[in-house]
């Protein structure tokens, strides 16, 4: 027993040596991991792809698309490498991780990335800070022609230039469980929130479902999206063109928040929604516990077919989002774009990457493979795609009503204050009016000066 420590020290030193020697090769680009054959094949592709010695290399970071379980984006990136000979270091992870890596890098003026994720919520802020490169210097004449106009507008800055090209047209749609709705005695989806409420309560009375919807109203970042969504469908305003407050003055905004509160109180919405994120809300809908999913992702239909996560195969349809009145139907679009950091050293190559990845051809391939929603208008009438996704015909009408989040340089602060006050109102701890007043109070330093 007494000798043990000496052995231990020896082991320690050994471990240290092994660990440190294992460190050394990691600094070089060769992977240390005992790679499978496919992995080695992949790391050795560049020589075959490009014979020239001075090979350009760009680093690209963007989140995984939630429907991309087959690696479709990665396959496109490899295709890009093959056609252009530019090597791509691809970093894909979840949205939060990407955001928390990109923001410190941009904020500290780094040049590690050549193409970055550019979320619609960051546009005003990044334009103001001058972190991104205007794409007009690179793009050919008429590049944006045929693109959904809203997506171009969302990523244009006050100087009128375009700073991002959308790779993920994340527009949300209104899904309803047609089979359950019929059991409750309705053949048509609701056109107004009033009907929405009636149908939910009727279905509850008949024991079809317990709640019309399970909202994702946990106190987190996405609650601000929900606030936008309901405000839009009630015809309310959040801020005006100059960024001056409207939310605390507009009666329609108040009505929207009041509806959210009442939905919980009257049993239209599951009170558990106060603790749900979007994934859980979607789980509940796919399980058949709710009638409606007011803001579902475009790829939802594919999920309904998967028996591992869904019990509603063949029951779900797409409808128009209801509004306070039918003409107020609106939906949220939360697009994510590619942008080139101002400090990138490979802007030309980065632009080529963006062009390739957002082209009609790539868009169509990704649409076919994983149901990616195109950014090109004519792809929505493409016969191949319509044959595969017949419900895209229903998307059409909604797409024209899609709206983005408020463009504010202080959007982060807006979310921070909004989610706290709105959540408090939803929990019944303050009235809708109090919540909106408190938001104005909390954001007072950002109110525009007369």
Partner 1 sequence: MPRKLRSRPLTDNPQLLGLLLTLPALMAILAVVLIPIVSSFWLSLHQKDLSRPQYDAFIALKNYLTLLRDSRYLNSLWVTFRFSLTSVIMEVILGVSIALVLNQRFVGRGFVRGLMILPWAMPSIVNAAMWKWIYNADYGALNALLTQLHIIEGYRVWLADPTWATILIILANVWKETPFTVILVLAALQAIPEDLYEAARVDGASAWRSFWHITLPLISPVLMVASMLQFIWGFQTFELVYVTTGGGPFSTTELTTLRVYATTFRSLRFGYGAAMAYLTSLVILIPAVFYIRSAYRRVVEM
Partner 2 sequence: MRVLSKRFVSRLLLYILVIIIVVWTVAPYLWLIISSFSSKIELLTVPLRWIPSRPTLENYRSLFFEYGEESVNVRLFIKSLTNSVIISLSTMSIATVLGVFAAYAIARLRFRGNQGMILTMMSIQLIPPIILVIPLYVIMRQAKLLDTHLGLIIVDLSIALPLVIWLMRSYFASIPSELEDAARIDGCTYFDALFRIVLPLSGPGLVSVMIFAFIASWNEYLYAFIYTNINAKTLPVLIGEFSTKLGLEYLKIAAAGVLASLPPVFLALIFQRFIIRGLTAGAIK
Q: Residues in the site for partner 2, rule: CB under 8 A?
A: 2-6, 8-9, 12-13, 15-16, 18-20, 22-23, 26-27, 31-36, 38-39, 42, 61, 63-64, 66, 69-71, 74-75, 89, 91, 93-97, 100-101, 104-105, 107-108, 110, 112, 170, 277-280, 282-284, 286-287, 297, 307-311, 334
| Residue whose CB is less far from partner 2, 92 or 329 | 92
Which of the listed partners (partner 2, partner 1, none) does 244 bind, with a CB threshold of 5 to 8 Å by partner kind? none
Closest alpha carbon to 418 in 395, 441, 400: 441
Please state, in angstroms and rounded to a whole number, the distance separating the CA atoms of residues 124 and 334. 14
Using CB under 8 A as the binding rule, the residues of this chain from 77 to 106 that contact partner 1 are 99-100, 103
- In whole angstroms, the minimum distance from the beta carbon of 305 to partner 2 comes to 13
Contact 321, 346 (CB under 8 A): no
| Residue whose CB is less far from partner 1, 196 or 211 | 211
Helices (H), 65-192: 72-84, 95-107, 123-129, 149-154, 178-183
- In whole angstroms, the minimum distance from the beta carbon of 443 to partner 1 comes to 11
| Residue whose CB is less far from partner 1, 382 or 421 | 421
Please state, in angstroms and rounded to a whole number, the distance separating the CA atoms of residues 44 and 58. 17
Q: Strands of 20-155 (E only): list them.
A: 57-63, 87-93, 115-119
Joined tokens for residue 433: 């009016």
Site string for partner 1, 126-155 (x = CB under 8 A): --xx--------------------------
Site string for partner 1, 415-444 (x = CB under 8 A): xx--xx--xx--x-x------------x--
Cα 151 from chain centre: 13
Q: Is 343 in the site for partner 1 (CB under 8 A)?
A: no
Joined tokens for residue 117: 């994720």
Q: Which residues of 279-297 are buried (b: 16+ CB within 10 A; e: fewer)?
A: eebbbbbbebbbbbbbbbb
Contact 84, 352 (CB under 8 A): yes
Site string for partner 1, 185-224 (x = CB under 8 A): -----------------------------x---xxxx---
Count CB neighbours of 225 within 10 A. 19
Please state, in angstroms and rounded to a whole number, the distance separating the CA atoms of residues 133 and 348. 11
Q: Which positions lie near partner 1, rule CB under 8 A?
A: 99-100, 103, 107, 125, 128-129, 214, 218-221, 270-272, 274-275, 280, 283-284, 289, 409-410, 412-413, 415-416, 419-420, 423-424, 427, 429, 442
């Amino acid at each position: 027993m007494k000798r043990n420590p000496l052995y231990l020290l020896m082991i320690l030193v050994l471990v240290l040596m092994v660990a440190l020697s294992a460190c050394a090769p990691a600094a070089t680009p060769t992977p240390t991991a005992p790679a499978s054959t496919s992995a080695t094949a992949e790391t050795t592709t560049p020589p075959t792809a490009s014979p020239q010695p001075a090979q350009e290399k760009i680093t690209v970071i963007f989140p995984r698309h939630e429907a991309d379980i087959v690696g479709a984006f990665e396959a496109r990136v490899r295709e890009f490498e093959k056609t252009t000979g530019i090597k791509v270091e691809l970093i894909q992870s979840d949205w939060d991780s990407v955001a928390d890596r990109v923001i410190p890098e941009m904020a500290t003026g780094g040049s590690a990335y050549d193409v970055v994720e550019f979320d619609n919520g960051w546009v005003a802020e990044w334009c103001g800070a001058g972190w991104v490169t205007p794409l007009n210097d690179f793009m050919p004449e008429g590049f944006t022609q045929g693109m959904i106009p809203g997506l171009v507008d969302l990523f244009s800055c006050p100087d009128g230039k375009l700073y991002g090209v959308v790779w993920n047209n994340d527009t949300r749609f209104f899904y309803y469980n047609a089979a359950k709705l019929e059991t409750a005695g309705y053949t048509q989806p609701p056109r107004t929130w009033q009907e929405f409420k009636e149908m939910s309560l009727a279905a509850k009375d008949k024991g079809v479902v317990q709640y019309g919807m399970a909202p994702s109203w946990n106190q987190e970042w996405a609650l601000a999206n929900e606030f936008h969504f309901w405000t839009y469908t009630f015809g309310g305003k959040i801020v005006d063109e100059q960024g001056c407050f409207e939310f605390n003055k507009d009666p329609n905004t108040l009505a929207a928040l009041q509806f959210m509160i009442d939905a919980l109180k009257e049993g239209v919405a599951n009170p558990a929604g106060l603790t749900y994120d979007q994934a859980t809300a979607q789980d509940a809908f796919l399980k058949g516990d709710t009638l409606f999913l007011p803001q579902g992702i475009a790829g939802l239909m594919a999920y309904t077919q998967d028996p591992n996560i869904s019990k509603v195969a063949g029951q779900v349809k797409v409808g128009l989002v209801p509004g306070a009145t039918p003409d107020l139907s609106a939906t949220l679009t939360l697009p994510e774009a590619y942008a080139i950091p101002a400090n990138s050293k490979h802007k030309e190559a980065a632009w080529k990457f963006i062009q390739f990845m957002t082209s009609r051809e790539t868009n169509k391939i990704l649409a076919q493979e994983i149901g990616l929603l195109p950014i090109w208008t004519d792809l929505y009438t493409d016969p191949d795609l319509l044959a595969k996704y017949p419900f895209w015909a229903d998307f059409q009408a909604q797409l024209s009503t899609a709206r983005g989040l408020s463009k504010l340089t202080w959007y982060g602060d807006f979310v921070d204050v909004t989610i706290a006050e709105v959540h408090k109102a939803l929990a019944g701890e303050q009235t809708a009016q109090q919540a909106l007043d408190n938001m104005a109070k909390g954001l007072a330093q950002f109110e525009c000066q007369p």
